[in-house]
Structures are given as structure tokens and as C-alpha cells.
Amino acid sequence: MVMTEIKKVAVIGTGTMGPGIAQVFARNGITVRIFDIDSEKLSEARITLDNNLELFRQAGLITEPEVSETRSRIQNASSLDEAVEEANLVIEVIPEVMELKTALFADLDKICDPGTILATNTSGLSITTMAAAIEKPERLVGMHWWNPPIIIPVIEIIKGEKTDDAVVRAIDNLIRKIKKVPVLVQKDVPGFLGNRLQYALMREAIALLNEGVASAEDIDTMIKAGIGFKFPIMGPLETIDMAGLDIYYKVSQYLNKDLDKSQEAAPVVETMVHKGDLGLKSGKGFYDYTGTDIKSLMGERIKKLLLLLKDLDYVE
Ligand SMILES: NC(=O)c1ccc[n+]([C@@H]2O[C@H](COP(=O)([O-])OP(=O)(O)OC[C@H]3O[C@@H](n4cnc5c(N)ncnc54)[C@H](O)[C@@H]3O)[C@@H](O)[C@H]2O)c1
């Protein structure tokens, strides 16, 4: 495919992830059109955008004029056709349901210019299967942002079996331009890179809790003040190199066979889901949030993450 520089982007779906994705593009000079089949979601997106921009302004990460410029680069579209008009990239951020995504891509493939890149923010569905629903599968690529997208630096680029290398390069360039950090997932495996690593850790954490090895607080503290504390500086493979492959080899010989290998979701999780204990959104999960102001809890977490972004030089 012949690529032009990506200057205009359409973000389709403005639920949890869409508004933040639009904000990052717009903050970095890209014109964005946002669209949602639910007009209320589209209106709510503007409120979310304003709140998040204010948060960034308060943290000294953006000036008042930059807030206005960013806002003015984001336009609401009243139809899919209007949203994708002249877009060099269309990213779908609609629910994680294969049928919804393939139906949308089949429409997009028909209405978008042949040079328009089509991207999906899927957390782990097959890019290759999605691409099979369209006539130009080479233009479809995974572009997986992490929540909250205004903060988390990394974006996974997932190459489907037929994704054109030129499309991968164009997305890589774009991610650098919007001051994010690209990682390339060269094989379209379920869960890609981030969720595979994260779910391996979560599966073990739940198994340890279930077996009564430690409390939820101590399991989380082990990560926050221990293993996870060094992760922003050293990844797991760098950690093995630091410890020595011989040590890793010896420990894995006795430990690997004892690690959790469940093929299904843990029964305790299934029970909690059926009881409606869904975590923050229901007030109870592994922790009880009764009486906790969830908004301020999340606000505090975001503030700390913003400080980390600065300390780790992910923002100027
Ligand atoms: N929520 C997360 O933490 C997270 C993180 C990373 C990736 N993702 C992925 O991002 C995608 C979106 O997730 P979300 O949490 O933002 O979902 P969401 O349910 O919060 O929002 C989806 C939005 O898409 C809209 N929509 C549905 N069908 C549409 C269509 N055909 N055209 C236009 N709009 C449509 C809905 O009205 C809704 O507002 C999913 O693939 C998800 O796996 C989510």
C-alpha cells in the first residue's frame, strides 16, 4: 500500500476508551472526528475530554491555549460516513464482540478511500479473522491502547497474517509522533503481548489467594512494593539477565511444575461474577469498597500515575 502521512483520524466508538484515544491524537496535532451509534455517548465523550484536559492542565502537562487547541481539533460526527471522510486512519473502539467488529469493518471497507488504514483497538480478538471480512485485508492492523489511554505510554501494533508491512510502519511512525511507545506483536496470538503477560500474573495471584497463601492486600503489595516496583525500569527478561540464567534455570526446575495451569477461569471468580461482585463498579470485588469514594480513589491513582509519567520522562 502507498502510505500518506496520517493527519486525520476517525475514532469510532466513544465509550471507555474512545475519548482518551481521541484526546491523545488531538493533543499531538492530528485532526480527529469521533462517532458513536449512541448519541448520548458522544455527548458524554465531550465531558470526559474536558475533565481529562483539565486534569492534565492541573498537573502542568498542558497549557490553557493547548487545551483549547486540542479541543478544537476534535469534531463530533453525526454519521459513520461523515466521521471517516478524508480520514487517513480509522480506529474502531466498539465493544469486544467479533460480529460487531467484522460488520463495522465490512462497512468501512466500502466507504473509506483505498489508502485509508483500518485499525482495531481489540484487547485480544484475532486481527486475521477480522481482516477476512473485508476485501483489502492488507490495510487492517491492530492498534491496542491501554486503559487509561491518556496515561499509559505503550501501544501494541498487531500484525495480522495479511497486514501490509507499510501499514505497520505507518502506525509505528504515528505512535512515535503522538509521543507514545510502540511494541510490535509479530504473530496474531490471542491476548497479544500485554494481556498474555498480565493474565499469567493475574491467574497466579488468584490461585495464591484461593489457596490461602496470602491475603489480597499482601499479594498486591508484593507486586506494588516488590516485583512491580522495578518493572518500569527492568522488564522480566532484563530481570532474569540481572539475576543470572543459572539461577532462573534452577528455580524453574522445581517451581514451574507448581505454578497454576488452570485452563478455565478460577471457580472463585465465576462465583463472584454470578453474585454480582464485579469490583469497583459494584462496590465489591477482591476488596470491599463500601463507604469508599470511588471517584476520589481513582483520581488519586491517576495523579500518582501522572507523576510517574513525568519522573520516567514519558512526558516533557
Ligand atoms: N475498557 C478497557 O479497559 C479497554 C482497554 C483496552 C482495550 N479495550 C478494547 O477497546 C474496545 C472498546 O472498549 P470500551 O471499554 O471502550 O467499550 P465501551 O463499551 O465502553 O464503548 C464502546 C462504544 O462503542 C459504541 N458502539 C457500539 N457499536 C458501534 C458501532 N457499530 N459504531 C459506532 N459506535 C458503536 C457503543 O455505543 C459504546 O459507546 C474493545 O475492543 C475493548 O476490548 C478496552
pLDDT, tens digit, 9 for 90 and up, residues 26-59: 999 999 999 999 999 999 999 999 999 998 999 8
Q: Which whole number is the average pLDDT over 291-296? A: 94
* pTM beyond cutoff 0.75: yes
Please report the pLDDT score of residue 92 as a whole number: 98
Alpha helix segments (H runs only) across the chain? 18-27, 39-58, 64-72, 80-84, 98-111, 127-131, 165-177, 194-210, 216-222, 228-230, 236-243, 245-255, 267-275, 294-311
Among 132, 166, 185, identify where a domain stops.
185
Q: Do 174 and 293 fall within a single domain? A: no
Alpha carbon of 93 to ligand 1 centroid (Å) = 5
Q: Which whole number is the average pLDDT over 153-171? A: 98
The C-alpha torsion from 208 through 210 and 211 to 215, rounded to 10°, is 60
- Mutating to test ligand 1, I would choose from 123, 154, 280, 302 the residue with most ligand atoms within 8 A of its C-beta, which is 123
Please report the pLDDT score of residue 143 as a whole number: 98
Q: Do 165 and 296 fall within a single domain? A: no
Percent of the chain whose predicted confidence (pLDDT) is above 70: 100
Q: Answer yes or no: is pLDDT of 315 > 90.
A: no
Among 156, 185, 214, identify where a domain stops.
185
Residues with CB under 6 A from ligand 1: 12-18, 35-38, 41, 93-96, 100, 104, 121-123, 145-147
Q: Answer yes or no: is pLDDT of 220 > 90.
A: yes
CA triple 209-211-213, angle to 5 deg: 65
Among 185, 201, 229, identify where a domain stops.
185
Q: Do 61 and 142 fall within a single domain? A: yes
Backbone angles phi, psi at 206, to 5 degrees: -65, -40
Q: Answer yes or no: is pLDDT of 153 > 80.
A: yes
Q: CB-hemisphere CA count at 13 Å for 102?
A: 14
Total count of domains within the chain: 3
Q: Do 149 and 14 fall within a single domain? A: yes
Residue 38 domain flag: yes
Residue 316's pLDDT band, with cuts at 50, 70 and 90, is confident
Q: In which domain, by residue range, is 311 found? A: 276-316
Q: Do 75 and 199 fall within a single domain? A: no
Alpha carbon of 15 to ligand 1 centroid (Å) = 5
CA dist., res. 63 & res. 66, Å (int): 5
CA dist., res. 101 & res. 113, Å (int): 19
Residue 282 domain flag: yes
Residue 56 domain flag: yes
Residue 271 domain flag: no
Asked if residue 151 lies in contact with residue 306, where contact means CB atoms within 8 angstroms, the answer is: yes
Residue 1 domain flag: no
- Known catalytic residues are 123, 144, 156, 195
Reported as type and span, the H/E element at residue 182 is strand 181-185
